[in-house]
A and B are shown apart, each in its own frame.
Chain A
Amino acid sequence: MSTGEQLNGGQIVMRALADQKVEHVFGYPGGAVLPIYDEIVQQDIVKHILVRHEQGAGHAAEGYARSTGKPGVVLVTSGPGATNMVTALADAMMDSIPLVCLTGQVPTALIGNDAFQECDTIGITRQCTKHNWLVRDVNDLARIIHEAFYVATSGRPGPVVVDIPKDVQFATGTYEGPRNIRHNTYRPKMKGDIASIRQAVDMLAEAKRPVFYTGGGVINSGPEASHLLRELVSVTGHPITSTLMGLGAFPASGKEWLGMLGMHGTYEANMAMYECDLMVCIGARFDDRITGRVDAFSPNSKKIHIDIDPSSINKNIMVDLPIVGDIAHVLEDFLRIWRDRSCMPDKKASKAWWSEIDAWRGRDCLKYKPNDDIIMPQYAIQRLYEKCKGKDTYITTEVGQHQMWAAQFFGFEEPNHWMTSGGLGTMGYGLPAAIGAQMAHRDALVVDIAGDASILMNMQELSTAVQHKLPVKVFILNNQYMGMVRQWQQLLHGNRLSETYMESLPDFVKLAEAYGGHGIRVEKPGDLDEAIEEMIAVDKPVLFDCRVANLANCFPMIPSGEPHNKMILGADVSDEEVGSAISEKGKVLV
């Protein structure tokens, strides 16, 4: 058949990774992947980063992928190695992050026998991967790995798993290179339908109160998509907002920028969504954190939805004009047609629309009560942002109040500089993701904005950072609560705080030192700037224990079950208002 080179399974894996231009693999060895690890140690093309827990490898690979636009690669063993990866796979699935996860499996003869460290990896990961493969024949191994990279990175990206039994790793077979990989059934559509794009141009040219609602799809499409998006906004002058996942595609300093939208988005972004007459959704998916109450979502607008995944169209919100295609391709055609026709936005209408938006902006929805004695968490993020300005900064987060404050108060100017767990909301994502981002950008400043609860979920990865000399900074907004859960208990459950107080927190300074990192603690607003400067200057992993106001809550907020125009703003809200903000019907929503 083929005259390809004869190699054993372990060699095929390493050769395929090298041919896929993989530079870094995050992993953890074990019995069922020993032949692959034996090859790792005998080559120096692919660098292996040893983590402390497989979930950490998964999130590190996600941070790596998100910050580079390249696929993240993970190698773990069978059984618990694979099951520990499940959270990271589900996370990558929800946020469309390209991951290639190689798992060891017990030898083919033992599959189904409840062998030691056996689990049905393919069955378990089927619903949280874009696709997965069990390799039964070493001669299929190279082809499947190349196919796996293709599936993970093309179309709407996502995680894939290749499960490799140990006997296949030992067996000798034919290696084939990445050429000629053409999939029979899977061919994502890149170009949008031109007639529909023309119609979209007409709709935008006629719109009086349009808004661009953009998401992670813009980032996934690549830097060109962000570039074209900026051009689109600049030629039209229309307002733009983004989901959590899309931050950075459009610069936060841009005058058309309304800030993030959704449950903890800005008042002006949500009001613009509610009051617009044309919504242009670009690479976002009308998630429930964005829409609020679906039957009162932007009631008077026409909606255009550009997305590479046809199943995202009309899933939650019915749209008037769907365009299926890659964002960069569609925006390129859109701008060409817009220019060919010498389209101009309606200046008069635009002026009126902007004056309305400026009035909403005037509410200053992110305002909070400053405090001279206690560090307000919002203030801490603002100071961090100021100190990071001008540096090549990558921000990751955990999940909770700190994540929302980071999204609200840290300004992102470029795509791929913001890594957060949006869809799945995985506490413990941020530290390993920061490690992945730092691995890809050795000289950059990488900061994990964390909470005291989340950080403890993957604390062990600090050891990974120390081992690989990755000077990630963990900026912990320590309020000694699971703040977001507590906030919901206040809103929904009569302020009965159930299991949300973090008693017996470790001494983060000592903990950092125990791992071989550097610890800093700050309790006074006046000491913050100097401490942040110290954190940035230290060439080591840092745990920064920022003691913040314990009971601060995250506003503005659309209470669950309410539409965009029913936001609670922060600074002037009373406890009673907070307590009665969510209706009985809203309480059952997550």
Chain B
Amino acid sequence: MSDQEEQVESHTFSVLVDNEPGVLARVIGLFSARGYNIDSLTVSETEHERHVSRISIVSSATPQVLEQIRAQLDRLVPVHMVRDLSTTERPLERELALIKVAGVGDARVEALRLSDAFRATVIDATVDHFVFEITGRSSKVNQFVALMMPLGLVEVARTGIAALSRGKSGIFDE
């Protein structure tokens, strides 16, 4: 067996949970207790009537461990359903970031020009700063943040990834 040589892959899980107190702590506790990575985690109530929240988790591990993560999540009592969205094709993944850039002169002009190219919008501004809002794949956000670095980047807040599978079927259809 060559477990150690197996490649580490990044997978995105969608987890439907009862929106009860402590459910997020259970999920996070599971990851820390078993030493799994969390690269991104987002959670929000998605079906208010049914009291259901969707947690999107990006984790990187070997295929054997990724399967363990799925099975361990499924074992939690308040978990309705776990789907590994990355098993068949690349899932749809989007992230939102707020990015504060301070500066004057050429740097300021360049930041604004780049924001336009990245379809970021200005949501706050004075004569010596901008706050941009950008959505997209994490790689796009990373790239934009990197470009802002020399142009007076002050701080960044990111939401983490929200993800869905491609195609017409939903998580319950599979």
**Interface residues, chain A, with chain B CB atoms under 8 Å away:** 122-123, 126-127, 130-131, 134, 151, 183-186, 294-295, 309-311, 313-315, 318
Contact = CB atoms under 8 A, between A and B. Distances in A.
Interface stretch (B41-49, B68-76, B146-154, B161-169): B68-76
Given A310-B71, A311-B75, A295 B1 contact: yes
Contacts of A185: 17-18, 77-80
Given A309-B75, A311-B75, A184 B64 contact: no
Nearest to A134: B21
Interface of B: 1, 3, 17-18, 21-22, 25-26, 29, 33, 64, 67-68, 71-72, 74-80
A309 B71 CA distance: 9
27 contacts: A122-B22, A123-B22, A126-B22, A126-B26, A126-B29, A127-B29, A127-B33, A131-B76, A131-B77, A131-B78, A134-B21, A134-B22, A151-B77, A183-B77, A185-B17, A185-B78, A294-B1, A295-B1, A295-B3, A309-B75, A310-B71, A310-B74, A311-B68, A311-B74, A311-B75, A314-B68, A318-B1
Given A126-B29, A185-B77, A295-B1, A311 B18 contact: no
A185 B22 CA distance: 16
A131 B26 CA distance: 9
A96 to B, nearest CB: 12
B75 A184 contact: no
Given A126-B22, A186-B77, 15 more contacts: A123-B25, A126-B25, A126-B26, A127-B29, A130-B77, A134-B22, A183-B77, A184-B18, A185-B17, A186-B78, A295-B3, A310-B71, A311-B68, A311-B72, A314-B67
Nearest to A128: B33
Contacts of B68: 311, 314-315
Contacts of A313: 71
B78 A314 contact: no
B103 to A, nearest CB: 44
Q: Identify which of B1, B68, B77 gathers the most chain A CB atoms within 10 Å of its CB.
A: B77
Contacts of A126: 22, 25-26, 29
B29 A310 contact: no
Q: Identify which of A123, A130, A311 gathers the most chain B CB atoms within 10 Å of its CB.
A: A311
Contacts of A151: 77
A123 to B, nearest CB: 7
| A-B pairs, 3 with minimum CB distance | A311-B71, A131-B77, A310-B71
Contacts of B18: 184-185
A310 B68 CA distance: 9
